[in-house]
Amino acid sequence: MSGVIEPGAYIEFVWISYALTALGVGGLILFILCERSAAQSHLKREEDEAEE
């Protein structure tokens, strides 16, 4: 039947889409964690300055 894609065909497209999604989501999580860490150290620095 025309228009039918065989099982296993284009499988690399499936893996690439999952890999790119993992990369995007993983990168975003890393960015969010770094942002949190930077915000905490910025606040700590300012609080220390305020105490002095």
Partner 1 sequence: MFSYLANPQRFEKFARIAIPVCGVLALCLIIAGLWVGLFASPVDRYQGDTIRIMYVHVPAAWLGLALYFAMGGASFVYFIWRHNLADVAAASIAPIGAVFAALCLISGSLWGKTTWGTWWVWDARLTSMLIQLLLFLGYIALRAAIEEERLAARSAAILAMVGLVNLPIVRFSVEWWDGILHQGATVFRADGPAIHGSQLLPLALMGIGFTFLAGWMVLYRMRSAILTRKATNLQRLREARA
Write out the residues near partner 1 by the rule CB under 8 A: 3-11, 13-14, 16-18, 20-21, 24-25, 27-29, 31-32, 35-36, 39-40, 42-43, 45-47, 49-50
The minimum distance between CB 35 and partner 1, in angstroms, equals 5
The minimum distance between CB 25 and partner 1, in angstroms, equals 7
Structure tokens at 17: 């889409």
Rounded Cα distance, 40 and 49, in Å: 14
* CA 10 to chain CA centroid, nearest Å: 25
E strand spans, 1-52: none
The minimum distance between CB 37 and partner 1, in angstroms, equals 9
